[in-house]
């Protein structure tokens, strides 16, 4: 039985750490921190003290052209 045409396989994690998110997007982990803080990168999921990103959401976000993700902090 198949689950459809998904880009991730069963042995790939659904949630990924910052280093993997950086590698997949081609930017540094530090850049991810800066972009998240100003709403220009997907916000992470916090799970058991870990900071993770949804692999599928990240892939879809990049495919959509990396749209802005929320309000900018520190701006009026």
Question: Domain spans of the chain?
Answer: 15-63
Identify whether the C-beta of residue 54 lies closer than 8 Å to the C-beta of residue 12: no
Q: 52 — phi, psi (to 5°)? A: -135, 160
Q: What is the per-residue pLDDT across 14-36, written as a single tens digit (0 to 9) for each?
A: 999 999 999 999 999 999 999 99
Residue 48 and residue 23: Cα distance in Å, rounded? 23
- The pTM score is 0.76
Of the chain, the percentage scoring pLDDT greater than 90 comes to 74
Terminus-to-terminus CA distance in the chain, angstroms?
52
Residue identified by tokens 């198949």 is 2
């Amino acid at each position: 039985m198949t689950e459809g045409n998904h880009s991730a396989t069963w042995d790939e994690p659904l949630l990924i750490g910052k280093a993997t998110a950086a590698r997949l997007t081609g930017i540094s982990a530090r850049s991810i921190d800066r972009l998240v803080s100003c709403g220009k990168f997907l916000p992470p999921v916090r799970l058991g003290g870990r900071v993770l990103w949804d692999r599928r959401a990240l892939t879809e976000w990049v495919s959509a052209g990396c749209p802005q993700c929320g309000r900018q902090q520190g701006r009026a």
